[in-house]
Structure 1
Amino acid sequence: MKPDHYDGIEALIIKYLKGELTEEENRLLRDWRQELPENEKLFAELTDDIQLTQEFNVFLDINQEKGSRRLQASIRKKERQPEYLRRLYWSVAASVLFLIGGYWAYRSLTNLNPHEAVVAQVADIAAPSVSNAVLTLANGEKIVLDSVHNGVMAMQGQVHLVKSEDGQIEYNASGTGAGEAPAFNMLENPRGSKIVGITLSDGTKIWLNSESTLRYPTYFSGKERKVQITGEAYLEVAHNAKQPFIVMKENTEVTVLGTRFNINTYEEEPSLKITLLEGKVSVKHDGKSAFLMPGQQAIISRSDGKIDVAGNIDTDDVTAWLNGQFVLDGTRLTSLMNQISRWYNVEVVYTTKITNKAFGGSIDRNVPLSRMLDALRENEVNCRLEGGKVIVGGSEGGQR
């Protein structure tokens, strides 16, 4: 897509802000973002939730005329940008102002607080539609996965790094690497990013949830296959009886030969959880150990390091995040809000002391944040989106 042919891009950006992009539209927008660094920078400015909310609040707190002048003044600061980018910025900004104008008209016909209208409709936050994962190579080079085309991304020794058609990463070793020390790479999937998958050189497949990292060698040598994980990951480990696969998280080790399991190590949670779907694993932590069979879960307390093993775990619930679901069954409010915070990349603020009640049911992870908050309010949780933050608590509903 040539930079001077941007027809329709403004519409795609508006649909992105509203969480209404189709897969094909998302591909077109991603291609445009990758065309030039200036395009990606402009996109980031136009989709900054906090910045947009601030502009909307200024618009409402002063009046429509002054608010418009302030937004236009910020646009005039972009005089040095190419002409087509300035036109695009004006086009999208005009559409945003049109939305605001519509809510002013709505306000004149109702008693609805204008801030509530804007927060509920204009400043809604869409579920992640792209991956913002960053791959750091052994030499320190960083690759933003969504900024590169499919195919070979890099070469490290005898290992090809390939981006597949579905956006996943594959490590293909063309030799044994004899006499050559393996290099270490880091895959980081930040908050507000889609799940990212990777196939290691031994065939092991790993999927990372948002706000999770994986550190691993480009190929495995020696008697063990070791990786380090933070956050949450699902692994399908390639079987190799002669070379056990070990997942490390600080002073916790999970050792397997070939199996499928989920590991959740988020720091804000009170415990680490390792859930086995298939095979057999051993879990070690501070000199303590436990063995898991399919359907069991090791729960490691952060407070005392004790390992408890729970049976009859619904593994579909544990791995629901892979299938685009928030499973609420038995989930405590604080844990659920942590998930929402990571997935939508929002700060959660508690204004009152809460009762850490449990929920039931499930909800699609691909819905906008407003729909998620609607579901919480249906469960008597008083919450709202305000200024790019989720506010929990208050005088109505909720934490009783």
Structure 2
Amino acid sequence: MNASSPLRMSACALIAWGMAMVACPARADFIYARLVPGAGVEANGASTSVDVSSDGRTVVFASDANNWVGDTYNGTRAVAVDLDTGVVEAVSALGGSVFRGISPVVSGDGRYVAFLTINPSYGPNWQVLRKDRQTGALELASATATGQPASSGTEDNTVSISADGRYVAFQAVAAMTGIAGRPDGSSAPAGSSGEIYVKDMATGQVKMASVLANGSASGSNCSLQPHALSASGRYLAMLCSDAMVAGATSGQAYVRDLQSNTTELISRSAAAASGSSAFAYRPAISPGGRFVSFQNRSYGGLGYADGASETSNSGVYLRDRQTGVTTAIPRPPVLPAGSYDSCAVSAVSDVGSVVFHCNYAWVGPGSYPQVFLFVPGAGSPEMISGTTGGQPGNSAAGYSIGVNASGLSMAWESSASNIDPDDGNGVSDIFVLVDESVLSDVIFAYGFEN
């Protein structure tokens, strides 16, 4: 990447500090940091919607701050930070001009970033673009096989991308007619809307993912969630209000195999083979496609973390698609029993570690979401969004979360001001927890951990 570009700059002096010991999936040489535009410079606007590349080195997010690269755009832009080189880039930009970019997601090696934008140059309403950070090329992902943009735009909240950047998933508000989406190869029904599509950026073809067992479209009954696509682009996790397989209960999480054209019920267990008796929410798939995490409150027949009581549950479950086992992730011990099932947004790695948020009463009667890490076999979940003294952040954290394939690179947004002593911007920032082994530039790693 060309660090001399006006839309890129070096930020090797990103603020960092020591951290309290937490349970981690591997060695404990972790760097805990708040991302900032430069030494002594705070972002002058809020940063949200974070994602992490599979290799753990690139963090992308949406930001209202215009001092990441010194642009003049007055709005939200997509930003990429290379933790290995310190290069910061405005991704939603072309020809020196920054434009609107939200909900960015990043490919495995950080080269490609897909994001949502409203820009009449690319079509009506919201559309999905893919940026090649190596060449600078921008391509319309929310387009038919003939290159026409989604006629009424796309949903304005979520997009997903495969590790090689070839596949981009989005949800179209209007029909993407003439697209091969059914297992028998025929077109998706004209007039369908709100379906989930996966675009092959190499061939231009688009495939429907929200498909019933009989091959018809879901009828706008499925939604795309963050971390929906596996690294290969073969598997897509989704939430559907109607039964997508025979006998399933309503409001469940599924994985669509876009290669075999089959759909698998995820929010189930040996005792609840037809799915949970309660609605599932927010499924997220690991890069390798083996694990899926999801939220399921009120037990739903999926099991108790302690084998006996619903109060032992966090509200987040982990499904191992290889073994067919669903695990109830325990309620973090710092949460009182009355706060069971209070956990929600999650991301899952290829080793089955899950990063998620839970409501935690930090002071007085109120509570804020804090970020926790669960590692299979390592005991109860540990809070990772706290201060070096082990205190929780004084505001909400974890409305968006990312974790890489190895589980050694994590990122989340937080509005807390008591984590970094130099935090005075009064808005949400992006925090990272990264094992030094993820970074190849050792000099940068140690400079980062001042």
Comparing both chains, which one has the higher relative contact order based on Cα–Cα distances under 8 Å and sequence gaps of 6 or more?
2
Structure with a larger share of its residues in helix? 1
TM-score by length of 2: 0.31
Structure with a larger share of its residues in strand? 2
TM-score by length of 1: 0.34
Larger Rg: 1
